[in-house]
Amino acid sequence: MGGMLTASDFARLREVRSRRPHEIVDALRARTRREILGDDDRMFIVAADHPARGALAVGPDATAMADRYDLLDRLATALSRPGVDGVLGTPDIIDDLAALGLLDGKVVVGSMNRGGLRSASFEMDDRFTGYDVQSLIDSRLDFAKTLMRINFDDEGTSATLEATARAVTQAAAARLPIMLEPFVSEWKDGHVVNDLTPDAVIRSIAIAAGLGGSSAYTWMKLPVVADMERVMAATTMPTVLLGGDSPDDPDETFAAWEDALSLPGVRGLTAGRTLLYPPDGDVAAAVDIAARLVHPALI
């Protein structure tokens, strides 16, 4: 653990939330903003929108992300490291970070649909229960993000597709970049499981790319899978890589990221649990490795 935040930081956060909530709104609106891509046309974002979907597990630890104070401290450590361009989160996470003064000069990505709760019978009907386009604009955030799991055997997918298309149209009208995270998925033993074969990822890209009234502001957020060169040939849209679940072999994961980052169209990396909860507990070291992969010429 980095120990970036103190007991007094958290005491102030609780006081702001209970007595001066307007300061959260003020902090978001007053924060210093920056260009989305760095000087090297790359972007490295740390993700923390998992808890809002009830996904608290990291590896074998079913409640790893349950301690909000611990999570915020890990995020503070990550955001302090060179080469980290920003953060992706739901409103509760983003508001905490804003109140703590950690968002100045960072790219802030708002997570929109978290209604498909993990293992719920309605998981595929992934409602937009987080940010909407108007609240992203009102909060002066820089980017929108949606998760789009496509299950051809579950009717809940159709509502998610429709809502995602609407969000893409609204984001384009507002000139707000929006990243789509598409998967072909299926039910297995009560859980939604994503198909990570290259053909399935390519099919998900084709479906996602056509959503909405304009694709001008659409980005892709894609998993690193086999045959990534063929996967990236499926889209002209700017793409950030998805870090995925915490791996058993971090070195193997970092090597796969490095290879994929060299492909045309790949503009960066968005990773969460892999970096925030590394096996050895050293958040700063894990983040620094990823930052060097994304920004090799700048770090």
Which pTM does this prediction carry? 0.94
Distance separating alpha carbons of residues 129 and 285, to the nearest angstrom? 34
d(CA 109, CA 86): 8
293 φ, ψ (degrees, to nearest 5): -70, -40
Residue 246 is predicted with a pLDDT of 60
pLDDT score for 135: 97
Q: For residues 170 and 164, what is the distance between their CA atoms, to the nearest angstrom? A: 10
| pLDDT tens readout for residues 49-63 | 999 999 999 988 999
Closest CA to 78 of 297, 249, 295, 285: 285
What would be the CATH architecture of the domain defined by 7-294?
A: Alpha-Beta Barrel (3.20)
Task: Identify residue 138 by its one-letter amino acid code.
Answer: D
Query: What does the pLDDT read at residue 299?
Result: 60
Give the integer Cα–Cα distance in Å for 288 and 38.
17
Q: What pLDDT sits at residue 191?
A: 87
Q: What is the pLDDT of residues 8-54, one digit of tens each?
A: 999 999 999 999 999 999 999 999 999 999 899 999 999 999 999 99
The amino acid present at 42, given as its one-letter code, is R
Per-state percent for the chain, helix, strand, coil, to nearest 5: 40, 20, 40
Question: 10 Å Cβ neighbour count for 6?
Answer: 10
What is the C-alpha separation between 262 and 267, in angstroms, rounded? 9
In order along its 299 residues, the chain shows pLDDT tens digits of 448 899 999 999 999 999 999 999 999 999 999 999 989 999 999 999 999 999 999 988 999 999 999 999 999 999 999 999 999 999 999 999 999 999 999 999 999 999 999 889 999 999 999 999 999 999 999 999 999 999 999 998 999 999 999 999 999 999 999 999 999 999 998 889 999 999 999 999 999 999 999 999 999 999 999 999 999 999 999 999 998 776 667 888 999 999 999 999 999 999 999 999 999 999 999 999 999 999 998 76
Q: Which of 289, 232, 33, 297 is CA-nearest to residue 140?
A: 33
Of 273, 277, 271, 262, give the one whose Cα is nearest residue 290.
271
Supply the DSSP symbol for 269.
E
Q: Which candidate, 5, 96, 86, places its Cα nearest to that of 51? A: 96
For 21, the token pair is 């909530």
